[in-house]
Amino acid sequence: MHLKKTWKTAAVMLLAVAAVTTVTAAFYFNYAATACCAVVPLSSSSLLQESSNTAAMDNEPYRSKLVGSSATRPSKLYAVCETRDKLRSPADRDRFSRHRRQTIDSTSSTVDKNPGNKYSYNGESETARNGDRGNDTTLIYFITPTYPRREQIAELTRLGQTLMHVSRLYWIVADDRPDCSLQIMNLLPDFSIPYTYIASPMPSIYKHNPDAMPRGVSNRRAALNWIRLNHNINDSNAVIYFGDDDNTFHLDLFKEIRTTKKISMFPVGLVGEYGVSSPIIDKGKVVGFFDSWPAKRKFPVDMAGFAINVQLLFKYPYATMPYKAGFEEDRFLSALAIRLDEIEPKAENCTRILVWHTQTAKKPKPIVMVRSKATLPGSLATLLDQVTMLGIGGVSETTGVRSYMTKNGNIFRV
């Protein structure tokens, strides 16, 4: 009997050791496994410079072969679908100038003082984003988690046209899907912004409870890992900011966060029952937080309400976001060992709202029923193909909402 008890005790101990070993291995794998994706680290200045490879010379971005594929490459954690480090070709500049004629980049203190040339844009914006001079301007890594839905392309279009006006910005778009979206890869070059597009699906284990699903976590974790692998560890001239695709941003926000030495915070509008989430400032220091969902969090802030200097990622290499809905910001900032007296208040001592947590109303994708796709009149067939491709609707000959066209006040089935 005593021998049997001894064997049982030994078996339990072995199982416990195995469990601890597995958990530890998983923890280290979370950061280290992505090393297979590493490329030569780039400084914030060289990140925006012209690439020397043939694809960059032809102004063609690196594009993954995983379009429409369920596989991911080269890491099991995420796939880099497309990277475009070069800002603009001459053709891009011509197109970009149409958006920027006679404008001033309000995210920088440098202005173009040559009004005689109506085709010139702000000097700092053009040169800094091209990477050939003006590289003392702090680079902003703008991380945008996104996910497939009918509003996705519309949201990214609106956000991209805001970011077009921001100098020295690198956009990381992390998509919650296992493959690469052709629609997004066709869209992102339109904005003439250096970017990396990542496919980073949420692990299926976290999808079982829709009410507590940690949305955006896998995307932000993938983006943080990408920065750790691609940014020069010795270069502190960069900040990281998390901007959702449906949020609204005042251009002054980017000017504010560029000066972040360690961590900065500011108010976010349209959040919770208070309508705002913000640090409370007294004599230039953070003394508390105003948020309608404290939940015993040390840092009850919104994801859009802070920016960090890139060096914090390297100082705390295992700091990341947990798969726990509502606690992503708090646990991430706690892992960075942030203290209240280190927080740099922005937006006029947190008295001005420069970012809003706007959300687009979600509606089901409509299905349009037509008599025959082959006999649709004029441009309608091509238009409905576009609607289907963008994911904002569908077309069927057997089910859906009956569709009609009007002509001279008369209604006809299509």
Residue keyed to tokens 């983006």: 223
Rounded Cα–Cα distance for residues 215 and 208 (Å)? 12
The C-alpha atoms of residue 377 and residue 381 are separated, in whole angstroms, by 7
The catalytic site residues sit at 329
The Cα–Cα gap between 311 and 288 comes to 25
Let me know: does 236 contact 324? Beta carbons within 8 Å.
no
Q: What is the pLDDT of residues 210-231, one digit of tens each?
A: 777 788 899 999 999 999 999 9
Per-residue pLDDT band at 128 (split at 50, 70, 90): very low
**Residue 246 counted as an annotated binding residue:** yes
Verdict on whether the full-model pTM lies above 0.75 = no
Q: H-helix or E-strand containing 197?
A: strand 195-199
Q: Which residues contact 344 (CB under 8 A, 6 or more apart)?
A: 259, 260, 261, 262, 263, 264, 265
**Parallel/antiparallel/unpaired status of strands 367-369 and 355-356:** unpaired
Tens digit of each residue's pLDDT (9 = 90 or more) over 175-202: 999 999 999 999 999 999 999 999 999 8
Question: What average pLDDT is seen over the chain?
Answer: 77
Q: Is the pLDDT of residue 15 over 90?
A: no
Q: How far apart are CA 413 and CA 376, in angstroms?
A: 10
Q: Is the pLDDT of residue 113 over 60?
A: no
Exposure string over 118-152, b if 16+ CB within 10 A, otherwise e? eeebbbbbbbbbbbeebbebbbbbbbbbbbebbbb
Name the DSSP class of 150: T
- Please write the tens of the pLDDT for every residue from 132-168: 344 578 999 999 999 999 899 999 999 999 999 999 9
